[in-house]
Structure 1
């Protein structure tokens, strides 16, 4: 059994938050392992920011407890918790130099000799040469790093990040994703990061909690959530999924066989989020980049160019749209009985015949197929919701 007195895990037990008749966060249990980079991911209104604010002490939970290691901090005010928060707005003092901004927390605690600590922290965020500049003389990404340094110099047990990269442009945001991950790895403290950006969460976090409607839909490593979603919301919210309505025709030998779109498809039984029964319904899912696309002329003989073996799942259809986006071409295929399917093909050797109107075959490895409960909303998570509270 783990000795929690030696552990710095963040543990939320039965935590919830209601505002009058509205429940922003339904009772949840969540453990953030010490030293991990943990992301709370979801659309606006899913409860992620409210959850973060309850860890910070900026919101009082309606029920439940917040523990840092073996210490119950539920009733402690924010300044008495060993946590610091970095907000999207940075909140730097415009009249102070970068050095003085970072030193602020130490000086507040009566520490006079701060030069060495501030220097080390600015070196950590690679801003040592800019110590005497004012915030307005820095780029958005540099200001963000100053905010992180100012929080980290207080040696918090947990650093909370509330949409910290939301104000940056795309290129700078991607650079800062790698930068924050590097900093977290170097200092080794727990980061809890709130974001609505799927790529951001998957790039940085060891563990992601996907939130929806005040509940955690699924918790796991980024690759696990992407490759094996357990709900339609997770399948659609994390990237793009093709979800095909199917009827279960056989089970056994660790496999499930279904009928969909006039074809027989197979998938591993352990990749089904619900126990399939013969005659029952299933949503069969496959990611767009897992699918090979072949012109109908080449697919007719089952040639190797098509993946050409009956061991692969196969559907047919007609290209209705094609978008060249550099690294890949994204196709929309109308497949009879399966609806519109998306296929992403890397631009290595482009087939000039793959244009709108072309008849094609789609095939993929059954091992890349997953199964979801057909009673769910097939479109859940496709577009960002605008629920009542964050």
Structure 2
């Protein structure tokens, strides 16, 4: 990754971390987090995201490289001298102190005696103004998490680091807190760097996501761009689900690539190919399950011309409320996953039924066929990480986001 953008709130230059046992947790990494951004480091356990965060915080010393906050080199500064604060999954609140005193703690350590208004304003920001005199054990997990954020923000750090802060919450509360954290970040305008293994969490909150794998950044960009235009099979599979179909390139032209698989010809936009296709070469044609339509074979004649299509047989179906998830065996290779919204359900779409799967060619993307098709998928052993035989694809340039002022503690 070669990002030379300057002037960002957080800038990592050639940062790496290798431990005494020769294990490299983070390979040399250049990364710029723009001022005022909500930035997510996303990846499976052991990918290097937490180690990267800890190096920014000063809790780990980098083996190589430099860390800049603004124009200031903080690589060798101890944690307490860096203009950053960290919120951990455990929250680390003082159980014997009231919520007011927990939030005021950082100010009192700095010798500030008049803290009432600042603490009150911060509790109002996290919508806990009525809970100031309670103790942490009297609050829910989500409320405790907001107290931890308020305690970190009251020192006006230049950067707020969040290390899996929602990991201890149940699903419904976690989704609620995702929106709350995004609201808080938007209101205060401070740079947030958030570490998570949860794809939905990263895409819901972050302006920019860096997908990490094996100590490297696989791809960096806005959530929608990563989802719609993955550059590696790891990103395609780790961010949601992808159907990846190995095919032969048969022709190119007019901004379109035609590929052949099991006698069927599929088309995809040349602009959505992560690697330059070569006629006669192999490519992985990818399509997301929710982009695919499914009709019973009796209705095949209604499928419009120009659609990518396969005939197949439903192998399994699962009703999950808002949609039904189908597994369809096709001659194109691995079974295809198809998600159909439960609007007008066709009672004939059951296991064993002959069907046609079809989709708009514009919804197809292309990847290098030399990669592992299973990279990024979750198995009983964890997440498959081997996307390619070589190093990860370099990340793209960091998008520009509005600036926001940060004040060092």
Match of 2:376 among 364, 378, 381: 381
Shift in Å, 1:339: 1.8
Distance in 2, matches of 1:261 and 1:135, equals 62
Counterpart of 2:281 in structure 1 is 280
Cross-structure match for 1:176: 177
Gaps of 5+ in 1: none
8 Å contact kept, 1:267–1:367: yes
Tell me the CA shift for residue 9 of structure 1: 1.9
Helix, strand or coil for the counterpart of 2:346?
coil
Q: Is the 8 A contact 2:9 2:159 kept in 1?
A: no
Who is 1:65 aligned against?
66
TM superposition shift of 1:385? 3.1
1:376 aligned counterpart, secondary structure: coil
Match for residue 304 of structure 2?
309
- Measured after TM superposition, the shift of residue 65 of structure 1 is 0.5
Aligned-pair distance for 1:261? 2.8
Q: Partner of 2:318 in structure 1?
A: 323
Q: 2:399 — aligned with what? A: none
Contact 1:42 1:212 in 2 (8 A): yes
> Alpha carbon RMSD of aligned pairs, Å?
1.2
Q: Is the 8 A contact 2:314 2:353 kept in 1?
A: yes
Structure 1 partner of 2:404: none
Question: How far is the alpha carbon of 1:310 from its aligned partner?
Answer: 2.5
**Using a 3 Å threshold, how does the CA distance of structure 1 residues 279 and 8 change in structure 2: closer, same or farther?**
closer
TM-score (norm 1): 0.95
Contact (CA 8 Å) 1:292, 1:345: kept in 2 or not?
yes
Equivalent in the alignment of 1:15: 15
Tell me, which stretches of 5 or more residues in structure 2 are unaligned?
A: 386-409
Q: CA deviation at 1:250?
A: 0.5
Q: Is 2:249 the partner of 1:248? A: yes
Deviations 1:57-112 (A, max 9, x none): 00000000000111000000000000000000000000000000000000000000
The aligned counterpart of 1:109 is 110
Q: Conserved in 2, the CA contact under 8 Å of 1:38 and 1:191?
A: yes
Mapped partners of 2:277, 2:43: distance in 1? 29
Q: Secondary structure at the match of 2:350?
A: coil
Question: For this pair of structures, how many residues does the alignment match?
Answer: 378
> What is the match of residue 77 of structure 1?
78
**What residue is the counterpart of 2:53 in the other structure?**
52
Q: Contact conserved, 1:255 with 1:266, CA < 8 A, in 2?
A: yes
User: Normalized against structure 2, the TM-score is what?
Assistant: 0.91
Asked whether 1:369 is paired with 2:370, we answer no
Retained in 1: the 8 A contact 2:322–2:341?
yes
CA offset at residue 3 of structure 1?
11
Q: In 2, distance between residues paired with 1:192 and 1:175?
A: 19
1:278-334 alpha-carbon deviations (Å, 9 max, x no partner): 1100000000000000100000x2x1xxxx222110111000100000000000000
Q: 2:406 — aligned with what?
A: none
Matches within 5 A, 1:1-390: 7-20=7-20, 21-299=22-300, 301=301, 303=302, 308-383=303-378, 384-385=382-383
**What SS does the aligned partner of 2:257 have?**
strand
